[in-house]
């Protein structure tokens, strides 16, 4: 079965520090890849996505992710963390339109001042 692994259920950074959230997927066939953010008691907001084309994808709020097929990875980064980035982050993959997204277990990002 296809799966998504997010390394680190909890990541803590200082304000202004680099944010790195890791995501690996298990498939030899490149899927569509997504990062979502969820603030407390809210729905999921799309941060960025990779479907085809350029492997470095820029998203909202200064986040970006790089698709590395050889490493089956899609890690999320942000050069400088802000307090407002504190939230739950989900990596997800899709192999077929109109079916379920396969989610990782999520990573809670904490940002301290």
Residues that bind another protein (CB under 8 A): 32, 34, 36, 41-46, 49, 51, 90, 92, 94, 96-101, 103-106
CB closer to another protein out of 10 and 70: 10
What's the min distance (Å) between Cβ of 80 and another protein?
Answer: 26
Least Å distance between CB 53 and another protein? 12
Distance (Å) of CA 47 to CA 28, 42, 61, 62: 24, 14, 8, 9
Check residue 83 and report its DSSP letter.
G
Q: Which is nearer to another protein, 14 or 55 (CB)?
A: 55
Q: Report the nearest approach of another protein to the CB of residue 108 (Å).
A: 8
Residue 23 phi/psi, 5-degree rounding, is: -145, 130
- Structure token digits, residue 52: 């085809």
């Amino acid at each position: 079965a296809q799966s998504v692994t997010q390394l680190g259920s909890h990541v803590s950074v200082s304000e202004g520090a680099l944010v790195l959230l890791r995501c690996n997927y298990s498939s030899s066939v490149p899927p569509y890849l997504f990062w979502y953010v969820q603030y407390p008691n809210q729905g999921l907001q799309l941060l960025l996505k990779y479907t085809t084309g350029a492997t470095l994808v820029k998203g909202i709020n200064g986040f970006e992710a790089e698709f590395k097929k050889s490493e089956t990875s899609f890690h999320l980064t942000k050069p400088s963390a802000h307090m407002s980035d504190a939230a739950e982050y989900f990596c997800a993959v899709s192999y077929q339109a109109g079916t379920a997204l396969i989610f990782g277990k999520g990573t809670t990002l904490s940002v301290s001042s």
